[in-house]
């Protein structure tokens, strides 16, 4: 395990044209690799924008062996940077799956299908998206354990705790957090709480643009925001430090002090 994990978080406004979004992802991947990033977290909606017509997500979706993911993965070839980005993948029933792809050195190292769908605040993601039924996913990144979550997942503390139970020291959280009354406050509170209650780092990427708040951030194990973007495209940097993580977990041993386990069984299948 490296003593420090160099984290980059990319933020941009997706367009309807996937090829333009891929170009933006390439630019962020290149910049992250040039800066020595071990981990780059890109937004949930990296493939395409579908603001006014939610059902358009079905038309915009591409398989994991389609041109967007192939282009994303190929750009990582020859690099040790692990890149995590969100895409939508066609499913047999006509809906899509909301999938995080983790890629490194020209290979897909893991995928995670979003478990909690955004059926809230007057929206129904489940009309067009199939929920995951997989167990939470933790990947290795430069010897660190990185847990994968997507956007609305952050509102469910048991999700982050299950990842911590699997050894996660960093939570990677690609998002497309929709604007609305108090929504930016919700985002900051939830991201900070998941870091603090699990004494882990959270690297949260937010899509920006006319629908979403942006506000990408990295929060440390004691709940301190180390870096944050506003509502414009950008790339932020932060380091996760092994000694700092160990110190935080000694000072605030919530994982040792807890009295209840989290049941990994799904409550229901949507």
Q: Which residues are catalytic?
A: 44, 114, 151
CA atoms of 31 and 10, how far apart (whole Å)? 10
Residue 142: closest CA among 193, 112, 102, 196: 102
CA distances to 25, 256, 262, 268 from 86, in Å: 11, 33, 26, 24
CA distances to 111, 132, 135, 142, 269 from 266, in Å: 19, 10, 9, 30, 7
CA atoms of 198 and 205, how far apart (whole Å)? 19
DSSP annotation of 40 reads: E
The tokens describing 160, both together, are 């982050």
CA atoms of 161 and 167, how far apart (whole Å)? 10
């Amino acid at each position: 395990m490296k003593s420090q994990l160099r984290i980059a978080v990319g933020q941009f406004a997706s367009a309807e044209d996937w090829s333009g979004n891929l170009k933006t992802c390439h630019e962020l991947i290149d910049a992250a690799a040039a800066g020595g990033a071990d981990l780059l977290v890109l937004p949930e909606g990296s493939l395409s924008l579908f603001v006014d017509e939610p059902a358009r997500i079905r038309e915009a979706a591409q398989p994991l062996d389609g041109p967007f993911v192939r282009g994303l993965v190929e750009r990582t070839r020859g690099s040790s940077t692990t890149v995590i980005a969100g895409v939508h993948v066609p499913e047999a029933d006509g809906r899509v799956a909301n999938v995080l792809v983790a890629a490194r050195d020209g290979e897909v190292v893991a995928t995670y299908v979003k478990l909690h769908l955004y059926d809230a605040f007057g929206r129904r993601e489940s009309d067009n998206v199939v929920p995951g039924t997989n167990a939470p996913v933790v990947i290795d990144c430069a010897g660190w354990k990185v847990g994968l979550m997507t956007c609305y997942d952050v509102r469910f503390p048991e999700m982050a705790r299950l990842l911590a139970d699997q050894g996660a020291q960093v939570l990677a959280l690609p998002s497309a957090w929709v604007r609305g009354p108090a929504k930016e406050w919700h985002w900051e509170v939830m991201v900070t709480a998941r870091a603090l209650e699990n004494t882990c780092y959270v690297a949260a990427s937010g899509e920006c643009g006319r629908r979403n708040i942006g506000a990408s951030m990295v929060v440390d194990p004691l709940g301190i925001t180390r870096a944050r973007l506003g509502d414009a495209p950008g790339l932020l940097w932060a380091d996760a430090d092994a000694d700092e993580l160990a110190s935080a977990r000694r000072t605030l041993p919530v994982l040792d002090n807890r009295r209840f386990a989290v049941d990994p069984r799904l409550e229901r299948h949507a």
